[in-house]
């Protein structure tokens, strides 16, 4: 019977050390390999050139590295790059490099598909197949970081968990992936440059506060009345706005991190000044900033983007109330890489 190899990246350094001793290796070899895996992002044992050939063969015979590969890459007219990542079990997820001046942002996925079925999102029409592991989240960042360097000659500056899936429904692996991305033993990126976006899982927002996270939190809001939010986001049925608001205040009081509210402005749905007033009333209870986002069509005809004039009027109203409001123009539309469009299209 063929030996089933374990993914070596599923072990902590503390767990690897006795495994190496059991293979007749000195203790420090475990640390060397761990550094290759997480600091140098090695994707096969042959890259580990300061190990003997015999040890590399031993590792190859006993372990595997379930690395993520880029199965397809598309480059937009505006420099945005969308990657279709293939996982070890032949599933796919998508990630995006978003260039904006000196800012280079990686948009990464946390699940294969999504279970939330938000009506305006292409990923929401897919079945959720499984959660991503921490190393699969890490690998997406490594690939997109390399694309920033190779295509744009710039370092990756930011990471947003706004790709496929709901990060807070894969809490353990997302947190472990961020630890590897921010750790000095990993990629060493600052937690303040990472934003995790949630559709609104109140219980897990509070857990983020209890865990004292240092990264940023964004809420995909898109409507600031329960009546309207119920129509477009099923999650609102079990996470009403008053409950969400309370969880966000809890998070802020625990971490001191200002919340970002993401609000897609749909034509003739949530684009009136009355809707803007609802958003003001919801957002005034916690330190925040607001991103108004253009709607990106997913081809079902259910929604249209509000006009520029409507979006600008919406922004001016909120700004007049003293809120920090930014209009985010879509990037990568021509390759279906914009917000809400990730769907593993062939």
Q: Could you give the residue numbers annotated as active site?
A: 94, 339
Alpha carbon of 3 to those of 6, 9, 64, 141, 255: distances in Å?
9, 18, 11, 31, 46
Distance CA 295, CA 304 (A): 7
CA 211 to chain centre: 19
Q: Around Cβ 232, how many Cβ atoms within 10 Å?
A: 20
- CB-CB contact of 141 with 96 (8 Å): no
**In sequence order, what are the residues at sequence separation of 6 or more whose Cβ sits closer than 8 angstroms to the Cβ of residue 142?**
41, 187
| DSSP characters over 197-253 | EES--HHHHHHHHHTT--SEEEEE-S-SSHHHHHHH-GGGGTS-HHHHHHHHHHHHH
Q: How many CA atoms, within 13 angstroms, populate the side-chain half-sphere of residue 220?
A: 27
Distance CA(60)–CA(23), nearest Å, equals 13
Q: Are 305 and 267 in contact (CB under 8 A)?
A: yes
Instruction: Work out whether the CA dihedral 214, 220, 226, 231 comes out positive or negative.
Output: negative
Alpha helices, H only, 6-118 = 13-22, 27-38, 53-62
Q: Indicate the length of the chain as a whole number.
A: 346
């Amino acid at each position: 019977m063929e030996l089933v190899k374990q993914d070596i990246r599923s072990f902590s350094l503390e767990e690897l050390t006795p495994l190496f001793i059991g293979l007749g290796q000195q203790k420090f070899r475990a640390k060397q390999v761990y550094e290759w895996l997480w600091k140098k992002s090695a994707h096969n044992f042959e890259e580990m050139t300061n190990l003997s050939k015999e040890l590399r063969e031993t590792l190859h015979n006993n372990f595997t590295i379930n690395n993520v590969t880029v199965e397809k890459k598309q480059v937009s007219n505006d420099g945005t790059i969308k990657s279709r990542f293939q996982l070890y079990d032949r599933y796919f997820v998508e990630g995006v490099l978003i260039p904006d001046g000196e800012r280079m942002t990686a948009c990464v996925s946390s699940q294969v598909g999504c279970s939330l079925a938000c009506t305006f999102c292409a990923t929401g029409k897919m079945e959720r197949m499984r959660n991503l592991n921490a190393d699969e989240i890490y690998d997406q960042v490594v690939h997109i970081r390399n694309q920033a360097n190779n295509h744009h000659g710039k370092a990756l500056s930011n990471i947003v968990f706004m790709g496929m899936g709901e990060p807070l429904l894969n809490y353990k692996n997302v947190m472990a992936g961020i630890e590897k991305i921010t750790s000095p033993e990993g990629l060493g990126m600052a937690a303040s440059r990472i934003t995790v976006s949630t559709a609104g899982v109140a219980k897990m927002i509070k857990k983020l506060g209890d865990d004292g996270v240092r990264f940023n939190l964004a809420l995909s809001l898109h409507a600031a009345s329960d009546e309207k939010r119920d129509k477009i986001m099923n999650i609102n049925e079990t996470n009403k706005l008053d409950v969400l608001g309370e969880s966000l205040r809890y998070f802020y009081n625990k971490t001191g991190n200002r919340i970002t509210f993401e609000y897609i402005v749909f034509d003739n749905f949530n684009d009136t000044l009355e809707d803007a007033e609802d958003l003001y009333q919801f957002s005034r209870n916690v330190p925040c900033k607001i991103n108004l986002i253009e709607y990106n069509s997913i081809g079902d005809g259910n929604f249209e983007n509000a006009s520029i004039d409507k979006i600008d009027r919406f922004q001016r109203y909120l700004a007049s109330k003293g809120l920090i409001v930014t209009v985010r123009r879509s990037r990568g539309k021509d390759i279906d890489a914009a917000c809400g469009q990730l769907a593993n299209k062939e």
